[in-house]
Amino acid sequence: MTEKKQDTKGKKLGLAQPGKLELNKTVSAGHVRQSFSHGRSKMVTVEVRKKRTFVADQGGRMEEIDQAAPVEETAAPAVKVERPKPKPQPKRKSGQNLTEGEKAGRMRALEAARIAAAEAEKTAAGKAEEEALRLKNAPPEPEPIPETEAKAEAEAAVKPAKGAEKTDKPEDVKDEAQKQAEAIVDQQAQEKETDAKLRVKKPIVKPEIKKTTSKRDRPRRRGGKLTIAEALGGQEERTRSLASVKRARERDKIKAQQLLSNAKKIIRDVVVPETITVQELSNRMAERATDVVRALMKMDVMATLDQSIDADTAELVIAEFGHRLKRVAESDIEDGLKSAADDDANMVSRAPVVTIMGHVDHGKTSLLDALRATDVVAGEAGGITQHIGAYQVTMESGAKICFLDTPGHAAFTEMRSRGAEVTDIVVLCVAADDGIMPQTVEAIRHAKAANVPIIIAINKIDKEGADATRVRTELLQHDIQVEEMGGEALSVEVSALKKINLDKLEETILLQAELMDLKANPNRSAEGVIVEARMEQGRGAVSTALVQRGTLNVGEIVVAGRYWGRVRALSDAMKKSLDSAGPSEPVEILGLNGAPNAGDELVVVENESRAREVTEYRDRQEREAKASKTARSTLEEMFAQAIEGEAKQLPVIIKADVHGSVEAISTALDNMGTDEAKVNILHGAVGGINESDITLSVASNALILAFNVRANPQAREMAKRDKVDIRYYSIIYNLLDDIKMALTGMLDPRFQENFLGYADIKEVFSVSKVGKIAGCMVTEGQVRKGSKVRLIRDDVVIHEGDLSQLKRFKDDVKEVKEGTECGMAFANYQDIQVGDRIECFEMEEVARVL
């Protein structure tokens, strides 16, 4: 005890750690004398503060060092300062004379060692169970781990715990921490031996030791999402970055393109019409559209995908891509629309198609009415037929005959021509009292052009003055010889009004049909011709068609000219509904999307796409034909029209009940025009007058001609408001007469010169403010004031103008007759001489007619 007191007597009382409150004196005081001016001085007390530095020694104790001592830097992470060796201390037993800090440090080390051992035991047990399950499929046996190696690893794991005490490890000191460490080493050695027996190498779990490191040395935070595998395994796996994935995909894409480019190119046969769009061309070649556009740009052709190119340009593009060209005409779309001829084995007899033709008012419709035992003529306006009617008549014998009734008016030439083309036999109706007329001759020409036989029906034999022999004789002038005169043409004398010899006419028709041996195949797709078409309110387009071969059924898709549709209903002339129609049977068809032209072919197609393709091609052809018709063809024509002046035009809009009437009116109006005045048909269609017709009329100042149709209420209101002139007609020749008068009024009047008389100049007088006045003698005719005059000198006309003054002596007179003297003055002309002759005349306006 005496030695301890002596040792501690010279030390200062303080704490073990620096920066804490301590009782050691750190301030030393002294006195300094300050000198001032004038010999004055003063004693001042000065305090000096000393900075103390403490460093931990090998035993963990803090000792003060002298700042003046040199400090050396070592390679250790912390800066260590060399200090003088502490005084040797007496030896002490383990656990004795320890400070509270030392005891706390040892307790922490022991607790850390115990926790590390428990975790290692737990981890080893779990791993052992997992590895035991995989023993059956385990890899080759690893070598057992030596015991010395296990002990070395355990000692290396426990070294940080021992270092935490920061002692000098004297040989005679062996505290409880060392014992605990030895126990841990023994336990781990036993676990290693157990693992070696199981032939599985177990990882050594090192105890967790907390170290104070800088931010740079700290582990980086885990990035990305926490997966189940990472949470359970406790070990993070390195994941690929998004940029790496993109690079890999790009490499795969380039490799696939190389494979495609190295593959064998498919050479295709590309079908190209006269014009084709860029998109369609790329589709047929199976090439990218951008590549096709790029190839066109190299050829200096700037075209988008929707624009069309010609066949020559398409040929160059196809050759650029290495394909084969197969050029086709656009008209090839209609190839295969009509089927081939039928076999004779499938043919059956059919009813004859008979067309009744002749001059107007010769009794064609009355004859047909007598055969049908109906009264249609009463329904015709003006007693004339203005459209083709198709009827099928069943005779008492059971035989059937299909009759077509054609108009006889001069305007319906095309109707008669169309009727002759679709018919088998022509019945030429000639009135016995009138004989051969202009339309009769025209009908004969149509029948001969169609190469069909003619049966002469001499009608009205019951009338007074009828002479059938005269009719037969007149037919010889047109190369038609009847049987009575040694020819081949059959003739029958009939009376439609008295119904005389009608049965004989029917027998003659059937006999002619039997000689012709008319047959058709009913078991095939239907083909026919449109006889007439019209628009009906509530029903749409109604087309009268004549089936020529095959059978037309309800529900089939048909194409007629520029229109197509599905057959919704079929009906005969008596408005009776039908499910099908065979050869030589006229029917009304509902379902087309428009009214086709009379004479268009009717064909059944397989599907809607085929029908659209054909109708679009025909519609395009018709538009191009109209555009080329309106365009001026040559430069010479343009100059001629510029010199002669444009002809005056009467714009009209035609609306009629059937297409045949529109066609007849248009043809008649076109033929009516002259070089000075003509009709300009802006629009012609089937159906009633609607709002669009009124709008077109207002825009073009056109006249609307309505033939057997009326305007709807909205159109009537618009016409009344905009003062549009609508002319309604039911007889075609009334319409033509009105248009002819209108064109006549548009013609420029024609002036006619009327001679009045001659006068010789006897004397010339000069009058102030008037000029020269000629004293004349009227030698022939008379002279009138205000008439035209010509001054003739030596039989040459030197002036033509107006007579300004006519005087008899000093009085103004209106006229001077032959043998009378007078004075005359010319307007704006003074060069008159004695001996000149004056011719006096006047201009008369004469109206012109077409």
Average pLDDT (39-65) is: 74
Q: How does pLDDT run across 609-630, given as a tens digit for each residue?
A: 888 888 888 888 887 777 665 5
Q: Is the pLDDT of residue 374 over 50?
A: no
Task: Check residue 752 and give its pLDDT.
Answer: 80
47, two tokens: 């305090």
The whole-angstrom separation of Cα 355 and Cα 365 is 11
Closest CA to 400 of 365, 379, 430, 424: 424
Q: How does pLDDT run across 451-483, given as a tens digit for each residue?
A: 888 888 888 888 877 788 888 888 888 888 888
Which of 167-176, 184-193, 218-227, 448-457 shows the lowest mean pLDDT across its residues? Answer: 167-176
Task: Check residue 292 and give its pLDDT.
Answer: 92
Which of 334-348, 364-378, 728-742, 832-846 shows the lowest mean pLDDT across its residues? Answer: 364-378
Closest CA to 347 of 175, 197, 548, 213: 548
Phi, psi of 259 (to 5 degrees): -65, -40
* String of DSSP letters for 462-507: TSTT--HHHHHHHHHTTT--BGGGT-SBEEEE-BTTTTBSHHHHHH
Closest CA to 109 of 209, 213, 211, 212: 209
Helix axes 413-421, 659-672, angle to 10 degrees: 130
| 623, 581 Cβ separation under 8 angstroms | no
Mean pLDDT computed over every residue of the chain: 75
Model confidence at 247, pLDDT cuts 50, 70, 90, reads very high
Task: Check residue 739 and give its pLDDT.
Answer: 86
Burial 564-580 (b: 16+ CB within 10 A, else e): bbebeebebbeeeebeb
DSSP 764: E
Q: Is the pLDDT of residue 418 over 80?
A: no
Task: Check residue 750 and give its pLDDT.
Answer: 75
Q: How does pLDDT run across 691-724, given as a tens digit for each residue?
A: 888 888 888 888 899 988 888 888 888 888 888 8
The whole-angstrom separation of Cα 312 and Cα 305 is 17
The whole-angstrom separation of Cα 588 and Cα 577 is 9
Average pLDDT (415-424) is: 66
Average pLDDT (667-689) is: 82
The secondary structure element, H or E, covering residue 759 is: strand 750-767
Task: Check residue 248 and give its pLDDT.
Answer: 92
Q: Is the pLDDT of residue 10 over 70?
A: no
Task: Check residue 632 and give its pLDDT.
Answer: 47
The whole-angstrom separation of Cα 554 and Cα 327 is 38
| 702, 669 Cβ separation under 8 angstroms | no
Phi, psi of 516 (to 5 degrees): -80, -20
Q: How does pLDDT run across 778-805, given as a tens digit for each residue?
A: 999 888 888 889 999 888 888 888 888 8
Q: Is the pLDDT of residue 187 over 80?
A: no
Model confidence at 640, pLDDT cuts 50, 70, 90, reads low
Task: Check residue 125 and give its pLDDT.
Answer: 77
Task: Check residue 169 and give its pLDDT.
Answer: 44
Average pLDDT (360-378) is: 69
| 70, 81 Cβ separation under 8 angstroms | no
The secondary structure element, H or E, covering residue 406 is: none
Share of residues in the chain with pLDDT > 90 (%): 3
Task: Check residue 636 and give its pLDDT.
Answer: 54
| 561, 592 Cβ separation under 8 angstroms | no
Task: Check residue 127 and give its pLDDT.
Answer: 77
* String of DSSP letters for 802-825: EEEEEEETTEE-SEEETT-EEEEE
Q: How many other CB atoms are there within 10 angstroms of residue 682's CB atom?
A: 18
More reliable by pLDDT, 747 or 43: 43
The whole-angstrom separation of Cα 95 and Cα 79 is 30
Identify the three-state secondary structure at position 746. Answer: helix
| 727, 735 Cβ separation under 8 angstroms | yes
Q: Which of 47-56, 108-117, 226-235, 416-425 is most confident?
A: 108-117
The whole-angstrom separation of Cα 295 and Cα 282 is 11
The whole-angstrom separation of Cα 416 and Cα 418 is 5
Name 53's bridge partners.
Answer: 65
Closest CA to 838 of 768, 784, 767, 766: 784
Task: Check residue 249 and give its pLDDT.
Answer: 92
CA 157 from centroid of its chain's CA atoms: 81
Closest CA to 58 of 42, 32, 80, 36: 80
Q: How does pLDDT run across 262-317, given as a tens digit for each residue?
A: 666 788 888 887 788 898 899 888 888 899 999 999 988 888 888 888 888 999 99
Share of residues in the chain with pLDDT > 70 (%): 71
Closest CA to 845 of 753, 750, 756: 750
The whole-angstrom separation of Cα 63 and Cα 54 is 5
For the entire predicted model, the pTM comes to 0.51
What is the phi-psi region of residue 73: left when phi exceeds 0, alpha when psi lies from -120 to 50, beta otherwise?
Answer: beta
832, two tokens: 């008159």
| 489, 458 Cβ separation under 8 angstroms | no
Model confidence at 238, pLDDT cuts 50, 70, 90, reads low
Q: Is the pLDDT of residue 148 over 50?
A: no
Give the chain's domains with CATH numbers.
269-328 (no CATH), 361-518 (3.40.50.300), 527-624 (2.40.30.10), 639-746 (3.40.50.10050), 750-846 (2.40.30.10)
Task: Check residue 71 and give its pLDDT.
Answer: 42
Alpha-carbon distance values, 226 to 221, 223, 238 (Å): 12, 8, 12
Strand segments (E) across 472-600: 490-493, 519-520, 527-536, 540-549, 552-553, 557-560, 563-571, 577-578, 580-581, 585-592
| 458, 432 Cβ separation under 8 angstroms | yes
What is the residue type of 397?
Answer: S
Q: Is the pLDDT of residue 164 over 50?
A: no
Q: Is the pLDDT of residue 26 over 70?
A: no
| 505, 354 Cβ separation under 8 angstroms | no
Q: Is the pLDDT of residue 674 over 80?
A: no
Q: Is the pLDDT of residue 138 over 60?
A: no
Q: Is the pLDDT of residue 93 over 80?
A: no
| 59, 167 Cβ separation under 8 angstroms | yes
Q: Is the pLDDT of residue 407 over 80?
A: no
Which of 88-97, 278-287, 458-467, 637-646 shows the lowest mean pLDDT across its residues? Answer: 88-97
More reliable by pLDDT, 845 or 319: 319
Q: How does pLDDT run across 516-558, given as a tens digit for each residue?
A: 888 888 888 888 888 888 888 778 888 888 888 888 898 899 9
Task: Check residue 534 and give its pLDDT.
Answer: 82
Which of 250-254, 528-532, 576-580, 657-661 shows the lowest mean pLDDT across its residues? Answer: 657-661
